[in-house]
Amino acid sequence: MALAINNPTNSVAWKKLEAHFEEIKNLSMKEMFSSDSARAEKFHIEWNDFIVDYSKNKITQETIDLLLELANEIGLKKAIEGYFSGEIINQTENRAVLHTALRATENEKVYVEGKNIVPEIFEVKKSIEVFTNEIVEGKRKGFTGKSFTDVVNIGIGGSDLGPAMIVEGLQYYKNHLNVHFVSNVDGDHVNEVLKKINPETTLFVIVSKTFTTQETLSNAETIREWFLQEAKLEDVAKHFVAVSTNIKNVTEFGIAKENIFPMWDWVGGRFSLWSAVGLSISLSVGYDNFNKLLKGANKMDNHFKEAPFEDNIPVILAMLSIWYNNFFNAETEAIIPYTQYLQKLAPYLQQGIMESNGKSVGRDGKLVNYQTGTIIWGEPGTNSQHAFFQLIHQGTKLIPTDFIGFKKSLHGNKGHHDKLMSNFFAQTEALLMGKNENKVREELNEAGMSSERADYLLPFKVFQGDKPTNTLLIDKLSPESLGALVALYEHKIFVQGIVWNIFSYDQWGVELGKQLANSILTELNDKKINTHDSSTNFLLRKYIS
Ligand code: F6P
């Protein structure tokens, strides 16, 4: 069944939210906390080893009630059922959206065109497991009989960002294999990776859902040429494997059928790390850990499917984000993990969130008359505190921020971890409470400042506070908790797309640039430049001169 078409701004709940916004927009969170000592008790969700405290938001109980009323009125429950049961919710590409089936348990049944796809998924999982074990245990050898020491993942977008983020994120759990990533068509990227590896001991995993992507095919060809300087054509079979839906193009590239890991068109590129696209994850941390990642995601799937909306983490976080995006006109959201391991989380989520919900046409084919997709950015704490936090604290923009922290450190250095986490807690407190004039004056007096100098400095040192944050406190960074965390954001994307009445699972907006780049490349080769606007013509002529 098709997704319902609902302009959210025409709903009763939206109108109530507009009126409610006028009533509470100037309320101070600080005051809400001082008048209600049970606020954190009220506005938090505990699930598994996750604590999500959303009390430091510009909300009252009525705000949450109205946001959930909106979710209900828009038909979110039914949409969630359609999402998990394989309905064609990617209507513009005529596909189901079933990355959740990739982490289903073996006894679950998920149907696509009347066929249960779970057995097929488990067959591919088995081949990932067998292949991983053979490489990790050194049973498969390279063309000179040596075991593999390095793996290069060649892919871009969803065929790079997810695996790269998880491989980095789960570094603590890694084995002896060194995993590298080549994504950019910039030849310097591939050449820098080639400097670090030995063709005799390197496995190349070409990941491309379509196997038509310029960047990936160019890098794969360059790498194959480099490899063939040392090896023979028949050695390619030992060193190159591919993950794709496009078996024909992969075979034409020269990869043997038995070296192809299939994927399916009902998995979107940016949601594909759970499929064989995650082969480099499995190679890096072992199949058991890869499977734990999937299990963690599956648990979050069940939570999302089953928990009532008021206790449902993805639903609450999605609706809060809509509150800021559509009522407070916040344009961006920051995501700050307090672990260096997750330094690639924000770039990964940028694709997930911005490629999915960066749409301006509603499901009715008409331009929307409200804001959709949020701009996502972030860097790990504490580094980000020394980079851009100034603007979050004292700038003119409202930037709702997710703080993600872990109770335990992996290497167990309590001294460091307590310092890290003190910063984690301090930042959300500072963003909430700020520092008022009295406090600043008191500090300046204590520092022995003249009253004249204190008067001058006072306005610069005041922090308004009242900046909204969500705190996600998780027991430990593990394959399971990371799987659940990523699935949480995937479902947040889904909820927002449903409410905003857009199609979250296509990405037509990336096509135009690709088409133009292809025609410009032909013109550069032919040295004939005159088909563009005057600026582009001017620049291209300068480039070739
Ligand atoms: O950027 C557009 C896009 O289609 C992404 O959605 C996708 O993840 C990426 O390109 C790579 O595509 P492929 O896996 O087909 O090479």
**463-475: pLDDT as tens digits:** 999 999 999 999 9
Q: How far is the CA of 440 from the centre of ligand 1 (A)?
A: 51
Contact 290, 483 (CB under 8 A): no
**218-244: pLDDT as tens digits:** 999 999 999 999 999 999 999 999 999
Q: How far is the CA of 269 from the centre of ligand 1 (A)?
A: 6
Q: Report CA-CA distances (Å) from 141 to 175, 207, 239, 255, 259.
A: 17, 21, 9, 17, 14
Beta-bridge partner residues of 405: 473
Report the nearest-CA residue for atom 3 of ligand 1.
157
What atom of ligand 1 comes closest to residue 155's alpha carbon? Answer: 16
Show me where the domains of the chain are located: 8-74+307-433+468-500, 99-291, 508-544
Contact 348, 278 (CB under 8 A): no
Same fold, 8-74+307-433+468-500 and 99-291: yes
Q: pTM of the full predicted structure?
A: 0.97
Q: How far is the CA of 489 from the centre of ligand 1 (A)?
A: 19
Which uninterrupted H or E stretch holds 316? helix 313-322
Q: What is the C-alpha separation between 138 and 268, in angstroms, rounded?
A: 33
Which residues have C-beta within 8 Å of that of residue 514, sequence separation ≥ 6? Answer: 214
The helix/strand count (H/E) of the chain reads as 23, 13
Q: How far is the CA of 244 from the centre of ligand 1 (A)?
A: 11
**87-103: pLDDT as tens digits:** 999 999 999 999 999 99
What atom of ligand 1 comes closest to residue 244's alpha carbon? Answer: 14
417 is catalytic: no
Contact 28, 466 (CB under 8 A): yes
Tell me the three state secondary structure of residue 144: coil
Contact 63, 24 (CB under 8 A): yes
Which residues have C-beta within 8 Å of that of residue 114, sequence separation ≥ 6? Answer: none
Q: How far is the CA of 377 from the centre of ligand 1 (A)?
A: 20
Q: Report CA-CA distances (Å) from 481 to 68, 168, 318, 372, 413.
A: 26, 15, 19, 29, 20
Instruction: Look up tokens 């309905």; give the residue.
Output: 87
Q: Choosing from 25, 397, 419, 514, which is the catalytic residue?
A: 514
Report the nearest-CA residue for atom 16 of ligand 1.
208
DSSP state of 85: T
What atom of ligand 1 comes closest to residue 355's alpha carbon? Answer: 6
How are beta strands 332-337 and 469-474 bridged, if at all? unpaired
Q: How far is the CA of 444 from the centre of ligand 1 (A)?
A: 55
Q: What is the C-alpha separation between 402 and 418, in angstroms, rounded?
A: 20
Amino acid at 240: F
Q: Is the CB of 5 under 6 A from ligand 1?
A: no
Q: How far is the CA of 93 from the centre of ligand 1 (A)?
A: 14
Considering the segment(s) 99-291 as one domain, its CATH architecture is 3-Layer(aba) Sandwich (3.40)
Q: What is the C-alpha separation between 84 and 32, in angstroms, rounded?
A: 38
Beta-bridge partner residues of 367: 361
What atom of ligand 1 comes closest to residue 272's alpha carbon? Answer: 8
290 backbone dihedrals φ, ψ, rounded to 5°: -60, -45
Tokens encoding 114: 């009347």
**368-423: pLDDT as tens digits:** 999 999 999 999 999 999 999 999 999 999 999 999 999 999 999 999 999 999 99
Q: Report CA-CA distances (Å) from 387 to 27, 98, 272, 381.
A: 30, 38, 32, 10
What is the topology classification, in CATH, of domain 8-74+307-433+468-500? Rossmann fold (3.40.50)
Instruction: Look up tokens 């070739």; give the residue.
Output: 544
Tell me the three state secondary structure of residue 489: helix
59-65 contact pairs (CB < 8 A, 24+): 59/320, 59/323, 60/24, 60/27, 60/32, 62/20, 62/24, 63/17, 63/20, 63/24, 63/323, 64/310, 64/316, 64/319
Which residue from 97, 154, 159 has its CB within 8 A of the most atoms of ligand 1, so it is best to mutate? 159
**52-77: pLDDT as tens digits:** 999 999 999 999 999 999 999 999 99
Across all residues in the chain, what is the average pLDDT? 97
Which residues have C-beta within 8 Å of that of residue 48, sequence separation ≥ 6? Answer: 299, 303, 484
514 is catalytic: yes
Q: How far is the CA of 217 from the centre of ligand 1 (A)?
A: 12
Give the pLDDT band of residue 1 (cuts 50, 70, 90). Answer: confident
Closest CA to 296 of 284, 304, 307, 306: 304
Report the nearest-CA residue for atom 10 of ligand 1.
157
What atom of ligand 1 comes closest to residue 216's alpha carbon? Answer: 16
Q: Choosing from 386, 397, 416, 476, which is the catalytic residue?
A: 386
Closest CA to 485 of 166, 69, 20: 166
Q: What is the C-alpha separation between 506 and 365, in angstroms, rounded?
A: 14
- What integer pLDDT is reported at residue 530 of this predicted model? 82
Which residue from 507, 511, 512, 515 has its CB within 8 A of the most atoms of ligand 1, so it is best to mutate? 507
Q: Is the CB of 153 under 6 A from ligand 1?
A: no
Q: Choosing from 215, 355, 379, 480, which is the catalytic residue?
A: 355
Does residue 451 carry a pLDDT above 80?
yes
Which residues have C-beta within 8 Å of that of residue 173, sequence separation ≥ 6? Answer: 285, 286, 289, 478, 479
355 is catalytic: yes
Q: What is the C-alpha separation between 253 and 204, in angstroms, rounded?
A: 13
What atom of ligand 1 comes closest to residue 277's alpha carbon? Answer: 14
How are beta strands 469-474 and 50-53 bridged, if at all? antiparallel
Burial status of residue 209 (CB atoms within 10 A of its CB: 0-12, 13-18, 19 or more)? buried
Does residue 302 carry a pLDDT above 90?
yes
Q: Is the CB of 270 under 6 A from ligand 1?
A: yes
**134-175: pLDDT as tens digits:** 999 999 999 999 999 999 999 999 999 999 999 999 999 999
Closest CA to 279 of 157, 191, 172, 152: 152
Tell me the three state secondary structure of residue 96: coil
- What integer pLDDT is reported at residue 532 of this predicted model? 95
Contact 206, 259 (CB under 8 A): no
